[in-house]
Amino acid sequence: VPSHDTKSCWIEWMYTAPEYRRKGIAKKLHCDIKKICKKQKIKEIMLDVFEVNKPAQQFYKKQNFKPFIHILKENA
């Protein structure tokens, strides 16, 4: 659980066009984000991924992200 005195980075949207996937671009972007966070003394990076987006989930697992919150929805 993040504490109130911990600075966080929230990745709102990161997308690699299909023709550029599997070329290390997303990994490079993530590495750059981590460098910026370290420089800014940001201790945690958070993002959300849709349950159906298994490739993104696998990518973030490889980058050491761990599940943090589970969001449920119901159609009204």
SS3 (DSSP) at 61: helix
Burial class (CB within 10 angstroms; exposed 0-12, middle 13-18, buried 19+) of 38: exposed
pLDDT above 60 (res 2): no
Res 37: pLDDT:
96
21-65 pLDDT tens trace? 899 999 999 999 999 999 999 999 999 999 999 999 999 999 999
Q: Rg for the chain (alpha carbons), in Å?
A: 14
Q: In terms of pLDDT, which residue wins out, 1 or 66? A: 66
Find residue 8's DSSP bridge partners.
Answer: 44
pTM for the full predicted model: 0.78
Res 70: pLDDT:
87
